[in-house]
Amino acid sequence: MKADPRQFRQDSARAIGDPTLRANLRHTLGRIRARRAEALAAIEDVEALRRIGNAIKQESLRRLPRLLEQLEANLVRNGVRVHWAETLAEANGIVLAIARANGVRLAVKGKSMVSEEMELNAFLAEHGIEAIEADLGEYIVQLAGQPPSHIVAPAMHMNRHQVAALFHDKLGAPDVPDIEAMTALARRILREKFQRAGMGITGVNFAIAETGTLCLVENEGNGRMVTTVPPVHVALMGIEKVIARLADLPPLMRLLTRSATGQPISTYFNWISGPRRPGEKDGPREVHLVILDNGRSAIYADAQLRETLDCVRCGACLNICPVFERIGGHAYGSMYMGPIGKLLTPQMAGLGQAGHLVGASTLCGACFEVCPVQIPIPALLLRLRQEASQPSPAGRALVRGAGGARNPAEAMVWKGWQVLHDSAAAYRVFARLAALAGDRLPAFGPLKAWARHRALPRPAPRSLHRLLRDRPGE
Amino acid sequence: MSDARTRILERLRRAESVRPYYANTEPAREREWLARQPALGDLAARFTREQELVGGRVLPVAGWDQVPAAVAPWVREFAIGSAATGAVPRLDPLRAHLAGALGVRVLTYDREIEAQRAAIFGVDCGITTVLGAIAETGTLILIPSPAEPRLLSLAPPIHLALLERRALHPTMAAFLESGAFGSGTPGSAAPLVTTPPSNLVMISGPSRTADIELTLTIGVHGPKSLLIALIG
Amino acid sequence: MGMAGERAAAGRPAEVYFFGTCLVDLFYPEAGLAAVELIEREGVRVIYPQAQTCCGQPAYNSGYRREARRVAAAQLPHFAKPIPVVVPSGSCAAMLHGCYPPLFAEGGTAAEAARARDFAGRVVEWSTFLAEVLRVRLRDRGAPVRVAYHPSCHLLRELGVREAPLALLGQLAQVELAALAGAEECCGFGGTFSVKQADISGAMLADKARAVVESGATVLLSLDAGCLLQIGGALAKAGHAIRCLPLPLFLKERTA
């Protein structure tokens, strides 16, 4: 499966027509929504907590360059090597150089969205280095040769029967849909990989500037394995992950795990502040951090779109999204899917490539309602829709590919719409014609698309304007 | 790579003064919010309940001298044939009891992992002390050290943790305020004066996943069982 | 939402503007008339500027802000008096209340921006105006009926109006409110989304229509004409006899 956001219409149509996928999505999303709701019902005043989460992210972003420098200085003091990458190619090159310097043939990975962004596995494979995903969901989709379909639950699109068939096919396991047995098999296989691997690769959930600490949230223990057993640990993060203080962690964690999986806290919460120290018996000899930009600094420059960078990757907006529920994650053709993906992908890949994604929303606002850091996703989608067709006047930061999704025919339609609605006289004629057309409206163009799923709407014979004008006594 | 660093930071500095479109004036602090939350009640009871909700087992033990006898039923229930500890003198009575009366093969994780990997991955149970715990979420806090390395609580299928009741903190925030992580004051403008520990891990229950059909499954890569003696 | 509370505190006005919205004007004029008459019945004079057309949301939501601004600017002069502007649609009220100020702040003249802010501050959603400002008392004169209510997304999540429509319905003794599965989930309309992403919209709509049918209601009510065209269109196409009505029309019929 090749990820390509331009295929959205075809891929989403295929997903809608796939009853197994639809059933899998309904089942898992139903469960995850219930768990989130239950976890948040157990604490008082969630709204105030969301405002605190938002305030922490805003304050961190406000001081972003200084915090990144502070983080770097403290990490270096702690013995971590810090690398900076403007582009995906640079980031891949840095990881490869570290691997080569250490003679790495096999790398094990924890979940990392940045590594998906980099398409790191494929890149390393091209250079003779095998990278194995250790998160169970990531391991499953890697075996299947697919990208993750969800940022938290990568294999949510598959059911146990499909996983069993996959394990049978790829691992020679009996084709039995026993979740415990399949989990045990993955445990056995990956335990051996952890011990053989020359390098562990992870993402970062939060990086704390004041101490030089990288925080990693996980449930399986794969994050601990990957950052403990191999001799080298490489952490990958986007520039927006830095927060100022240790004291910022508790409220953000409180929001993150409850929003993501409905847990009060994840099973493991790792704070990594350096490599193995003298006297310590285990832990990596080297710890590296790669700080990636890849378009984020451009997002940062826009006062409104900057809020995109508040995201803590909890996946709650995907889980609640009625569009995501119908099409799943793969249709978005990007490692960031769902509502937050509709913001991130077009800003990173450019509106020319992915501008239509910002239109694939009803603006129902469910995503904003659940976002633990209050990202105003619908408002930002509207802003990007504007940038896609009518780039902002000079003086505002330019969104990548602005104007790139402009459709001249659509622009003419809206110009025509304006002419019919900005004068009372023109509108009166338009309304009169619509009324005359009545149910004789021909089903062409947009009406044809409408008529596939619904009866055509029927303009009333007399408009409200006329009803009120013609009332006795008016 | 310094070029990338310079260019990224320059772009960010140019945009630093941009005023957010949606300015949030909420103080970014959890303290007042926490004060409005329902009381946690007895910390040990809360810790036990939360830990049991995620599949951990908690056993109250009166004192350190009671630990060897108290954990004996677990040794039988979980068929623990071998166990590893760090080089911690306080655990000597427990080690002696395990090796003696209970017939458990006891080894010490006191050399670097490169020399002991097979042994640590092959043992039934890792035994550790812990720095403290968070009652609200039923969370153990471990700072692995030269005496008690990281893998003790990770590689063996069973982790037996020894937690002192007086080390219970109500919340994560309270733990941070205790200053146990680094010796500076969290949140103050002054930098921490000591280097933070290379690794800290918070553990809430045995290893788990829900990656297939969101069905909870215990024991993926970490321990399948988490046993906690709550001492004091 | 603040707008409900502020209006309530301001007390009962002697007269109000009515912003009918283009969808009501063209597709549900009887509902617009009912909405006006229910206000007038409480002794409040209703001014309906004949020069009004559309709030501009269709273009605004499609990213065509210049065109939206032109149409929005054409509305403002006709609502100049310092009296409330009542709107029988959650979506259009959200546009007028929430989007006009930024729309003119980023592109209009200073005078237009000031006028837009003043206008936006006077916008009141219709059910909120009836339930919380006029505090109407409704006497049900209809036969027993089972209805379902679709709380449209913008009404619910942009304006935060959850209780007012239910409070009005709750006054009708013979009306039973059916439980609607996934009630707060979007019906898939989304304006141009319904034709640009017709397949996704259709999949969302199919689930919504099924929930309505399974609720056992014979009438579906909503405060957004777009959602009613969408859901009603699906039910009609499938041959279901469920009536899909704007809430004002239903209330008027029951209490006439």
CA separation for the pair B58, A22 (Å, rounded): 41
Looking at the partner chain, which of B36, B146, B197 has a beta carbon nearest the beta carbon of A44?
A: B36
> Per the domain annotation, does B12 fall within a domain?
no
Q: Which region among A161-165, A258-262, C2-6, C18-22 has the lowest average model confidence (pLDDT)?
A: C2-6
Residue C158 C-alpha from the chain's centroid: 12
CA separation for the pair B160, B62 (Å, rounded): 17
The DSSP 8-state label assigned to residue A210 in this structure reads T
Tokens at C59, concatenated: 């273009």
What is the mean predicted confidence (pLDDT) over A107-112? Answer: 97
The DSSP 8-state label assigned to residue B91 in this structure reads G
What is the mean predicted confidence (pLDDT) over A426-448? Answer: 83
CA separation for the pair B70, B63 (Å, rounded): 10
Contact between residue A6 and residue A354 where contact means Cβ atoms under 8 Å apart: yes
Between positions 37 and 56 of B, the ones with CB within 8 A of A are: 37-38, 50, 54
CB-based contact B221 A190, cutoff 8 Å: yes
CB-based contact A281 B116, cutoff 8 Å: yes
What is the mean predicted confidence (pLDDT) over C60-71? Answer: 95
Could you report the per-residue pLDDT of C138-179, keeping only the tens digit for each? 999 999 999 999 999 999 999 999 999 999 999 999 999 999
H or E stretch including A28?
A: helix A19-41
Residue B79 C-alpha from the chain's centroid: 24
The pLDDT of residue C233 is above 60? yes
CB-based contact A469 C194, cutoff 8 Å: no
Looking at the partner chain, which of A28, A52, A160 has a beta carbon nearest the beta carbon of B30?
A: A52
The DSSP 8-state label assigned to residue B81 in this structure reads -
What is the mean predicted confidence (pLDDT) over A161-187? Answer: 97
> Per the domain annotation, does B89 fall within a domain?
yes
Beta-sheet pairing, B199-203 with A268-272 = antiparallel
- Is residue A389 very low, low, confident or very high in pLDDT (cuts 50, 70, 90)? confident
The pLDDT of residue C251 is above 70? yes
Residue type (1 letter), C147: V
What ipTM goes with this model?
A: 0.95
> Per the domain annotation, does B58 fall within a domain?
yes
Q: Search chain A and give the residue with CA nearest B172.
A: A250
On chain B, the residues whose CB falls within 8 A of the CB of A182 are 212
Looking at the partner chain, which of C27, C63, C186 has a beta carbon nearest the beta carbon of A362?
A: C186
Q: Search chain B and give the residue with CA nearest A33.
A: B214
CB-based contact A140 B211, cutoff 8 Å: yes
On chain A, the residues whose CB falls within 8 A of the CB of B196 are 78, 211-213, 271, 273-274
CATH number at residue B200: 3.40.50.10420
Q: Search chain C and give the residue with CA nearest A429.
A: C53
Subunits next to B (3 or more Cβ pairs <8 Å) are A
What is the mean predicted confidence (pLDDT) over A48-59? Answer: 95
Q: Which region among A143-147, A393-397, C13-17 has the lowest average model confidence (pLDDT)?
A: A393-397
Q: How far is CA B92 from CA B85, B107, B109, B166, in A?
A: 10, 12, 14, 22
CB-based contact A460 C29, cutoff 8 Å: yes
CA separation for the pair A232, A234 (Å, rounded): 7
Residues contacting residue A379 through CB under 8 Å, at least 6 positions apart: A304, A368
SS3 label, residue A433: helix
Tokens at B23, concatenated: 């300015």
- Is residue C113 very low, low, confident or very high in pLDDT (cuts 50, 70, 90)? very high
Q: Search chain A and give the residue with CA nearest C59.
A: A414
Interface A:C, Cβ pairs < 8 A = 194
Contact between residue A368 and residue A376 where contact means Cβ atoms under 8 Å apart: yes
CA separation for the pair C252, A259 (Å, rounded): 43
Contact between residue C25 and residue A459 where contact means Cβ atoms under 8 Å apart: no
On chain A, the residues whose CB falls within 8 A of the CB of C203 are 16, 326
Side-chain-side CA neighbours of residue B199 (13 Å): 29
Residue/partner pairs of A379-382 with CB below 8 Å, 24 or more apart: A379/A304, A380/A304, A380/A305, A380/A307, A380/A308, A380/A343, A381/A339, A381/A342, A381/A343, A382/C60, A382/C61, A382/C63
Q: How far is CA C177 from CA B210, C74, C166, in A?
A: 38, 40, 9
H or E stretch including A303?
A: none
Using the structure block, give the residue that is written with the tokens 């777009």: C226
User: Residues in chain C, how many?
Assistant: 256
The 10 Å Cβ neighbour count of residue C255 is 18
CA distance A327 to chain C (A): 8
To the nearest 10 degrees (0 to 180), the angle between helices A249-260 and A46-62 is: 120
SS3 label, residue B218: strand
> Per the domain annotation, does B37 fall within a domain?
no
On chain A, the residues whose CB falls within 8 A of the CB of B30 are 49, 52, 247, 250-251, 254
Subunits next to C (3 or more Cβ pairs <8 Å) are A
Confidence (pLDDT) at A448: 86
Contact between residue A151 and residue A328 where contact means Cβ atoms under 8 Å apart: no
CA separation for the pair A67, A72 (Å, rounded): 8
User: Residues in chain A, how many?
Assistant: 474
The DSSP 8-state label assigned to residue B166 in this structure reads G
Could you report the per-residue pLDDT of A86-103, keeping only the tens digit for each? 999 999 999 999 999 999
Looking at the partner chain, which of A358, A422, A464 has a beta carbon nearest the beta carbon of C74?
A: A422
Ordered per-residue pLDDT tens for chain B, 232 residues: 469 999 999 999 999 888 878 888 777 688 889 999 999 999 999 999 999 999 999 999 999 999 999 999 999 999 999 999 999 999 999 999 999 999 999 999 999 999 999 999 999 999 999 999 999 999 999 999 999 999 999 999 999 999 999 999 999 999 998 887 764 444 444 444 567 999 999 999 999 999 999 999 999 999 999 999 999 9
CA distance B165 to chain A (A): 21
The 10 Å Cβ neighbour count of residue B34 is 17
> Per the domain annotation, does B28 fall within a domain?
no
CA distance B202 to chain A (A): 5
On chain A, the residues whose CB falls within 8 A of the CB of B139 are 265, 269
The 10 Å Cβ neighbour count of residue C14 is 8
- Is residue C5 very low, low, confident or very high in pLDDT (cuts 50, 70, 90)? very low
CA distance C177 to chain A (A): 23
Asked if B190 is an interface residue toward chain A (Cβ–Cβ < 8 A), one would say no
What is the mean predicted confidence (pLDDT) over A53-57? Answer: 95
Q: How far is CA C125 from CA A363, A411, C26, C91, in A?
A: 19, 31, 20, 9
The pLDDT of residue A32 is above 90? yes
CB-based contact A297 B208, cutoff 8 Å: no
CB-based contact C199 A385, cutoff 8 Å: no
> Per the domain annotation, does B112 fall within a domain?
yes
On chain A, the residues whose CB falls within 8 A of the CB of C153 are 362-366
Tokens at A195, concatenated: 């011990």
Residues contacting residue C132 through CB under 8 Å, at least 6 positions apart: C4, C5, C7, C8, C164
Could you report the per-residue pLDDT of C66-110, keeping only the tens digit for each? 999 999 999 999 999 999 999 999 999 999 999 999 999 988 899
CB-based contact A85 B203, cutoff 8 Å: no
Looking at the partner chain, which of C33, C234, C236 has a beta carbon nearest the beta carbon of A467?
A: C33
> Per the domain annotation, does B209 fall within a domain?
yes
Asked if B89 is an interface residue toward chain A (Cβ–Cβ < 8 A), one would say no
CA distance C8 to chain A (A): 24
CB-based contact A276 B198, cutoff 8 Å: yes
On chain C, the residues whose CB falls within 8 A of the CB of A388 are 63
CA separation for the pair A350, B38 (Å, rounded): 47
Q: Kindly compute the dihedral angle of the four CA atoms of residues C23, C24, C25, C28, in this order, to the nearest 10 degrees.
A: 120
> Per the domain annotation, does B2 fall within a domain?
no
Backbone φ and ψ for B167, nearest 5 degrees, come out as -95, 10
Q: Kindly compute the dihedral angle of the four CA atoms of residues B66, B72, B77, B83, in this order, to the nearest 10 degrees.
A: 110
CA distance C23 to chain A (A): 9
Q: How far is CA A193 from CA A19, A142, C185, in A?
A: 36, 15, 44
Backbone φ and ψ for B155, nearest 5 degrees, come out as -75, -45
Count of structural domains, chain B: 1
On chain B, the residues whose CB falls within 8 A of the CB of A221 are 154, 207, 220-223
Confidence (pLDDT) at A352: 86
Q: How far is CA A12 from CA A19, A367, A445, in A?
A: 13, 19, 21
Proportion of chain A in helix, strand, coil states, percent, rounded to 5? 55, 10, 35
What's the domain range around B120?
Answer: 42-231
Confidence (pLDDT) at B184: 47
Most A CBs within 10 A among B3, B6, B8, hence the mutation to make, goes to: B8
On chain A, the residues whose CB falls within 8 A of the CB of B151 are 228-229, 282
Neighbour-count burial for B66-96, b at 16+ CB within 10 Å, e otherwise: ebbebbeebbeebebeebbbbebeebeebbe
Q: Search chain C and give the residue with CA nearest A383.
A: C63
Q: Search chain A and give the residue with CA nearest B16.
A: A62
CB-based contact A449 C53, cutoff 8 Å: no
Q: Search chain B and give the residue with CA nearest A240.
A: B12
Strand order in the sheet with C175-177: C175-177, C145-150, C219-222, C243-246
CA separation for the pair B117, A307 (Å, rounded): 46
Q: How far is CA A381 from CA A388, B28, B91, C85, C110, in A?
A: 10, 26, 59, 28, 26
Residue type (1 letter), A121: N
